[in-house]
Amino acid sequence: MGSGAKKRFDSVAIGEEWGVADAKGFHQNETHRYAPSGYPFSVCRIDGRQVAVFIGMAIPVEVRAELASRKPDWLDAMVYARAISDPRAEVAVIEAHVLSPDDAELQMCAFATACVAFDLGSFKVVPKSYLVRFEARDSVRVSMEFDDDAESWFGEAAVHFGDTR
């Protein structure tokens, strides 16, 4: 239907902060894809905050609550997401869940999710934009570019109200 104010992001980075969250807590390592148990996550540094993005796997609601209860202090937010559009689509659609964010945090989480999804190779082409659909919330449209010199992402995110198909 309409869209809200846009929020600009500069110098958003995904560093070497990979890890696995399991029943014992959050563990950072660089070989998360080979972990036999637990849920791998990537950390995106955005606006001085750190967002853990779990993407590409189904995480049951009860496990989300358990992981949230073990969230370390160094993490500001956690997003559970999965790409649901064709990997060659011009607009990449991502379904996501984050615990009770305000609109500004929703935009930050959407931007972080789009960066991590791209970084992990979720798409076959470079999408023109990303539509991150949050459960029981409005969607956020993200447009972003990568700055090779700074090795970071920049762009904007805008909350979209109503039907965004």
Task: Give burial (CB, 10 Å; 0-12/13-18/19+) of 8.
Answer: exposed
Residue 32 main-chain phi, psi, to 5 deg:
-60, -30
Return the closest-CA partner of residue 101 out of 78, 83, 81, 117.
Answer: 78
Delineate the domains of the chain, giving CATH numbers in brackets: 2-161 (3.10.310)
Q: What is the pLDDT of residue 118?
A: 92
Averaged over 16-23, what is the pLDDT?
Answer: 79
Strand partners, 146: 153
Using alpha carbons, list the distances in angstroms from residue 22 to 9, 19, 37, 44: 31, 10, 7, 19
Q: What is the pLDDT of residue 12?
A: 92
Greater confidence (3 vs 43) lies with: 43
**Residues 6 or more apart whose Cβ sits within 8 Å of residue 67:** 21, 39, 54, 59, 78
Return the closest-CA partner of residue 81 out of 99, 96, 63.
Answer: 96
Q: What gap in Å lies between CA 30 and CA 35, rounded to an integer?
A: 10
Q: What is the pTM of this model?
A: 0.88
For the cut 70, the answer to whether the pLDDT of residue 131 exceeds it is yes
Q: What is the pLDDT of residue 74?
A: 87
Contact 45, 12 (CB under 8 A): yes
Q: What is the pLDDT of residue 30?
A: 47
Q: What is the pLDDT of residue 91?
A: 95
Q: Over the stretch 37-93, which tens digit does the pLDDT of each residue have? A: 788 899 999 989 999 999 988 888 888 888 988 889 988 999 999 999 999 999 999
Averaged over 155-159, what is the pLDDT?
Answer: 94
For the cut 50, the answer to whether the pLDDT of residue 145 exceeds it is yes
Band (pLDDT 50/70/90 cuts) for residue 1 is very low
